[in-house]
Structure 1
Amino acid sequence: MASVNGGGRRVTLREVARAARVSPSTVSRALAGNPRISAATRARVQEAMERLGYHPNAIARSLVTRSSRTLGVVLYRPADQAFSHPFFAEALRGVARVAQAEGYSLLVTTADTYEAEAEQCLAMLRERRADGAVLLASRNPDPLIDELVRQRFPFVVLGRVDANLAVYWVNNDNVQAAALAVGYLAELGHRRIGLIGGRRELTVTQDRLEGFRLTLQELGLEVRAEWMQFGEFSWEEGYRSGRTLLQSHDRPTAIVAMDDVLAAGAMRAARELDLRVPEDVSVIGFNDDPMAQLLSPPLTTVRIPARELGEAAARQLIERLSGRLPPVRHVILPVQLVVRGSTGPAGP
């Protein structure tokens, strides 16, 4: 290993060893944090490095320590969608906050398809460019999770994972969160409640759909397929689905949108159809994104703690890399109903 000092000359590890009066292998072990190196020797090596202007090569050091001090992040969607979506941006912020505090860098995979991103994730871990990975979503089924388990790579999933798999994950109770939304609308007198959801293979969609259906059934309300729409978690999909639901003759009087972005699209569709929110149709979202309270009217939503989920996932992965966690650990964070102006009593 070598580095360039302030004068532009490359300083070698052997020069550091001579200045510290130790062998080159002792310098390497000191850099790797070997516990057999005494504090006095480590201090002497550090002083020689600073005096000579030596900075160890991170890649070469990772070969010695078998650690890159880097966490991989898998977005599960094209970068332009993920970074522009408030939930994923906030979750990534939480991951970065913990990683920085613990001295880790982040390596984010981006691809246009799930298959390409899964392959990038596996390559990143096989090549030791990252010590472990945080998956910012979960699917059912999920071949990537199966392969990560098979190859025993350290990873944590943001989202629920099959209970039969020995996998670390952090999540909120999406079944209960959907029940909270439906129950509140029912309290307002709504009996015709529609749904706008994400892609069916995502566990977040599956869990919120389950909570939606179960709560309607418990309340004796209809579960109607024509009042449910599914697609991407995007404003465009919310708009398209909102128009589909609200143009029907026997339209719902309230809509549960599985994401605030979907809810914003549905509210735009309502305005274009000359329907008032909430007088003609109530709309409730999920996440409590920053833009939720800026909509007109401000959006009622179920707050999902995105940043806290990202922080918990990163903390769990770093603890796992240190060997401090039991074989399996699941973290569930609470949700909160935030009532604003987009919901109101059902009309006549």
Structure 2
Amino acid sequence: MVTIKDVARVAKVSPSTVSRVISDHKSISESTKERVRLAMQELGYHPNYIARSLIKCSSHALGLILSRSTESAFSNPFFSEILRGIGKVAQKHQYTLALATAENYKDEAKQGLQMVMERRVDGLILLAPRVNDDLIRELSRNNYPFVVVGRVNGMQHHYAVNNDNIQAAYTAVRHLLNLGHRRIAFLNGPSEYTFCQDRYQGYCMALQEFGVAVDPRYVRNLENHHEDDYRMGKELLKQKPRPTAFFLTDDLMAIGVYRAVKEENLRIPQDVAVVGFNDDAFANLLDPPLTTVQIPIYEMGKTAAEMMIAVLHGKEVTPPQKILSSELIIRESCGAKAR
């Protein structure tokens, strides 16, 4: 069997340096790390991480909490893209990923706590936190390391990566208001999530700025079921007076809304304008292409994983809460290009 001594000989370093490279120690230069990794690859050497974890009391694994059912999460492009960013960083630092899957929040929180208490993971990355998140409170109370992708309600001392959902929603709705729309329907996600509450706040801010009252008849909270998008779209289009525009908290909702508009013999954007959120890969392929808020989903995943690994290595993370920018991508579905 190939040993650390064999790798050290080929890389022309000491065995202890090879060991430090395997643990990604900050005292080793990147050029030395690259030389040692090439020697490991050439010799076919694979570190025994199980044995190392027993010695170091470290699993060298990151736990991921999806904050919704597996089926719901993996049918949404947001989660696959953010996992791509997390996985890129984890691979670079030779961490494995452990996924907590459950059909309800109680089981999910229980799984997350077990993962860190049983040392199956070194830390947790939480996606889409809830307004009253017992898991986050329990992790904080026990000083377990975690990073949140999103905003934690009422807590200041934690590590988090987010986009400014209030400002992003405000910008999107203000764009519709500038185009002359006053009856703007809002299809939102479950109100238990902080990002949904923030996007609703941005929606309200924009309407109030233009002197438009928030009409609850035009607001719906969906439970992430695609048939709901279509059903709620039909329901809203039958309102008297009907909305002239839709703001959607997720691009996936556009599929159902487009179908509902077509069945009502209306046209996008001539009769009904539509603006989405996330700029998923398919948004530009819809007919007409969807105007949407572009957020750096991949970068959010990368940043969260980098923060988590830095915390685990005892490095200072500043600032502890990072806000990444978003941008409104104007396409044909809102009518701005035609004008």
Instruction: Report the TM-score, using the length of structure 1 for normalisation.
Output: 0.83
Deviation of the 1:123 alpha carbon: 0.7
Match of 2:61 among 53, 67, 70: 70
How many residue pairs end up in the alignment?
312
What residue number does 1:148 align with? 139
SS of match in other structure, 1:302:
strand
Deviations 1:149-173 (A, max 9, x none): 0111111000011353411110000
SS of match in other structure, 1:169:
strand
What residue number does 2:257 align with? 266
Percent pairwise identity: 47
Match of 1:333 among 324, 328, 334: 324
Deviation of the 1:103 alpha carbon: 1.4
Is 1:232 the counterpart of 2:186? The answer is no
Consecutive unaligned residues of structure 1, counting only runs of 5 or more, are: 17-25, 36-48
- Give the aligned residue type for 1:292: A
Q: Measured at CA, do residues 189 and 56 of structure 1 come closer, stay the same or move farther in structure 2, by a change above 3 Å?
A: closer
Is 1:198 the counterpart of 2:189? The answer is yes
Deviation of the 1:79 alpha carbon: 1.3
Contact 2:153 2:194 in 1 (8 A): no
Q: Measured at CA, do residues 319 and 122 of structure 1 come closer, stay the same or move farther in structure 2, by a change above 3 Å?
A: same
| Structure 1 Cα separation of the partners of residues 82 and 101 of structure 2 | 16
| Structure 2 Cα separation of the partners of residues 126 and 87 of structure 1 | 29
Is 1:317 the counterpart of 2:312? The answer is no
| Structure 2 Cα separation of the partners of residues 162 and 191 of structure 1 | 31
Contact 2:283 2:290 in 1 (8 A): yes
| RMSD, matched Cα | 2.7
Match of 2:163 among 165, 172, 183: 172
- Largest Rg, 1 or 2: 1
Deviations 1:229-254 (A, max 9, x none): 00123432221221111111211100
What residue number does 1:19 align with? none
Is 1:249 the counterpart of 2:240? The answer is yes
| Structure 2 Cα separation of the partners of residues 78 and 162 of structure 1 | 22
Deviations 1:260-298 (A, max 9, x none): 011221111111111111111001000000010111111
Contact 2:72 2:224 in 1 (8 A): no
Q: What are the residue-to-residue correspondences of 1:82-161 with 2, within 5 Å?
A: 82-161=73-152
Q: Measured at CA, do residues 53 and 277 of structure 1 come closer, stay the same or move farther in structure 2, by a change above 3 Å?
A: closer
| Structure 1 Cα separation of the partners of residues 287 and 264 of structure 2 | 16
| Structure 1 Cα separation of the partners of residues 226 and 308 of structure 2 | 32
Q: Measured at CA, do residues 245 and 53 of structure 1 come closer, stay the same or move farther in structure 2, by a change above 3 Å?
A: closer
Contact 1:177 1:211 in 2 (8 A): yes
| Structure 1 Cα separation of the partners of residues 48 and 169 of structure 2 | 50
Instruction: Report the TM-score, using the length of structure 2 for normalisation.
Output: 0.85
Deviations 1:164-217 (A, max 9, x none): 341111000000001111111011111111100000010010000001011101
| Structure 2 Cα separation of the partners of residues 56 and 86 of structure 1 | 34
Deviation of the 1:327 alpha carbon: 8.4
| Structure 2 Cα separation of the partners of residues 85 and 210 of structure 1 | 23
Q: Measured at CA, do residues 304 and 237 of structure 1 come closer, stay the same or move farther in structure 2, by a change above 3 Å?
A: farther
Q: Measured at CA, do residues 53 and 200 of structure 1 come closer, stay the same or move farther in structure 2, by a change above 3 Å?
A: closer
- Give the aligned residue type for 2:240: H
| Structure 1 Cα separation of the partners of residues 79 and 46 of structure 2 | 35
